[in-house]
Structure 1
Amino acid sequence: MAGLQLEKLEKRFGSVDVIKGVDLEVKDGEFVVFVGPSGCGKSTLLRMIAGLEDITGGTLSIGGKRCNDMEPRERGIAMVFQSYALYPHLTVYQNMSFGLTLNKTPKTEIDARVREAARILKLEPLLARRPSQLSGGQRQRVAIGRAIVRQPSVFLFDEPLSNLDAALRMDMRMEIARLHKELGATMIYVTHDQVEAMTLADKIVVLEGGVVQQIGAPIELYKKPANKFVAGFIGSPRMNFLDVRVTGVARGSVTVESPSIAPVTIDARGFAAGDRALLGVRPQYLKREGLDGAAGAVRGSVSLVERLGAETVVSFETASSERALAAIPQDEVFEPGSPVEFRFDPGAAHLFAA
């Protein structure tokens, strides 16, 4: 296995900068997930690592070797695509062994590698079938098996579960997590699904506009977002951002309020009295009860109630005509149009420049 080093990596298509100087270290055996909205550059960055896109600037190293000008087959990587990319006329065994056959690997070694990958992925009963005889989840496992038999230094996954339904995605997430643990492999995984990112990653890289917004462990990004973009992108339902006015500043803390938010003091720096700001509070941290008098409070009127079983999501409109969400674990009764007040722990809130 091997680690990766990206130094000031850049990619331009004509006059358009797509990747803008990315610095990243991926340690040997680490599971790193690239996340971000469509068009943020995450798949382009993965394809640059794979050698499927030229590097405009900067340096890419795999296992300590500079790889900018190496052919994909020379980099010691294997890539699993969103579309499976299986040969329809070949059996599962033949699909998994195809690359090894092209490389003139001895037949006994091919057989040993394919059968070991089939054992790991529970594909032994399916080796004689063709892709048309497989489910979506089985096809994806074959695509992963084809990567395993190559014994790469680095596995690359480009949104491999996006074509599967919700139940299959959950099953395949568990399979990929188990595979990472069993192989101890270095894996880089691209997804727009933050549930996949939060459950699979040792480290998450959040991208927007070709720029790294934050790198960190999943819980770090959730609890300590570096900026408003990360705060809004990580977490579901997304974080509430409410307009407030700074009314007081002390050492290391700021007091804010608005027509819908009672005065509350937040740990924050870099603000002055009179500044406009955005108060960020996750829907899960808005509660009806159980907080003491030091808690902040936000008032509004109920506009929609979604009962999802494990939680109830209340959409409400604040006195400042802002839409906000509260995720309540209990199945409480809320009447549309009725006034409501939610309380929150100031220590769980964030303050961003407006």
Structure 2
Amino acid sequence: MRPVSEEELAQAVRDAAGPLAIRGGGTRPIGRPLAGEVLETGGLAGVRLYEPGALTLVAGAGTPLDEVEALLAAEGQRLPFEPMDHRGLLGTTGVPTLGGMVAANASGPRRVQAGACRDSLIGVRFVDGTGAIVKNGGRVMKNVTGYDLVKLMAGSWGTLGVLTELSFKVLPAPDAAATLVYPGLEPAAAVALMSKALGSPYEVTGAAYLPDGRCCLRIEGFAASVAYRAGALAGHLDRFGAPQRLEREETVALWAGIRDVAVFHGRAGDVWRISVKPSDAPGLVAAAGGEAMLDWGGGLIWVLLPDGTDLRAALGSFKGHATLVRANPSTRAALPVFHPEPAPVAALSRALRARFDPRGLLNPGLME
């Protein structure tokens, strides 16, 4: 099914006799393998409102992400959270959509400075599992008082509702960018360097560690400001040695690769994503084995492991969560893809799904 209007989508959900597999651009097949009739949102495309002066954009959930980014770039603006493109990592084709981006809460390296996708999302419209049309704020078509729907829908992977329209706060794009690269570091030293850089007054917008031992720090803004802050930051971090400095073009290419985890593209093995307190990252990298890349100053770990490896068993109990992002269908069916929730949180999740999808139609089992 490929509805072309919100009402047509709502009717399709109301008429559904069994499970629905919600699909945007089909570029992020993460979670348990799904059964059910495919319901595509690509027909709900188009920018509804764009006011550059008000830094506001409203578009249909099926709108291709590259179209939105091109529109923003023409006005010197961007989505602040630098959404990841999963196609290279997952080996998928298709076109990423705004709805898929929000459903995954896809957020890149700039999250450490600008926040996640959900932090730039200021409004949603969606169809819940009963076929009712829901709007966050303003004139509502269904009363949902008590829920912060913006935060709730971002990262819900289509299990609470089918997104139809999204509103974002956008920001100006920077004039210049530079990256300081520190080679030859072990994970513990890299985390110490990144923590010191992020705690400095020099407004670092990216802090990542690559498997080859390079630690990368990004600064963005007006050209004169970038030049000053890059020099001052290097002085602030002088105990780590003299860095290599990359200018704008090299910086853009480097961070696109970090954003999309390019070091693991086209390579055999499973890919896990671990979210933790940065100070815990070096120990977890050692316990995980495999090859690791750190982002968000060490708060996000990407690990490449042999097929079928149960990373959670190797790590044991830790404060954070591990998500199986890439694996073959049999591994995704055998291992929980998303980190098991503590009992009170799991009970809350079940209650939310019962509230928004009482018939269990929308991507059932995907997050289990």
Give TM class, smaller chain: under 0.3
More helix by share: 2
Instruction: Give the alignment's TM-score, normalised by structure 2.
Output: 0.24
Instruction: Give the alignment's TM-score, normalised by structure 1.
Output: 0.25
More strand by share: 1
